[in-house]
Amino acid sequence: MYRFYVQPQVNVFTGSLIGYEMLIRKFDKEWKVPQNFASIPVSEQINLLREVANELMFKVDSLSFNLTQSQFVSKTMAKELVETQKHIYPITLVVELTEEREDITVKKERITRFLDYYLKNGIELSIDDVSTKENTYDKIKWLLPFASEVKFPMQNLRSEKRAVEIPGKLIFWRRVAKKFGLRLVVEGVENSDDDELLGALDLSLRQGFYYEKPHLFKISRNR
């Protein structure tokens, strides 16, 4: 069985909930992160996505849904997501594009073709985990003109023993976001020190345990 855990994204300056990131989980004695996301049937993910959206209609502006580049250029996935965007309007579906090493064979031209299809149908692009792993600025800068959002993961830099770089990287991505007219969402906000740092940097859009942990989203009707 699969279900979505959700974690809120908030604008702390206005005190408002702007959306949720949806994190799929599999039940095997307990809820766990799936080992192989590609093995999850598209139909299962889409049905769950629509159920969550139906519950949140008119309550949030956006729902974020993670895709690797390989999933992003799947014709089946693209068609289903476009139909889902029509189904869940006025909620905006935001595709968080992750970059994994196995995606290296996905050509930019193919991604661009699918980007055009997604954007024309009201789906927004978010570039996830910037400044970590494969998502360095030099590797993703070609995507920035297509994006609506970038996400900076404080928790990833901590796990990579790069916490000292966080303030400087935040300033860098704040400048990039301003240049390209993007939302900058900072995730991995864990404590009051993080909260104060982001306040000092005038960064309002945040996500993290300090505000709320991911939790199982309860569907009101029986499945």
Q: What is the pTM of this model?
A: 0.93
Cβ atoms of 48 and 87 closer than 8 Å: no
Residue 220 is predicted with a pLDDT of: 76
The residue count of the chain comes to: 223
Please list the residues that pair with 74 across neighbouring strands: none
**Mean pLDDT per segment of 10 residues, for the chain of length 223 residues?**
96 97 94 86 93 93 93 95 96 90 78 97 97 92 97 97 97 98 98 98 98 92 50
**Are 85 and 122 in contact, with CB atoms under 8 Å apart?**
yes
- In the 3-class helix/strand/coil scheme, how is 184-214 assigned residue by residue? EEEECCCCHHHHHHHHHCCCCEEECCCCCCC
- CA dist 100 and 70 (Å) reads 9
Task: Report whether 41 contacts 49 (CB < 8 A).
Answer: no
CA–CA separation, 53 and 84 (whole Å): 9
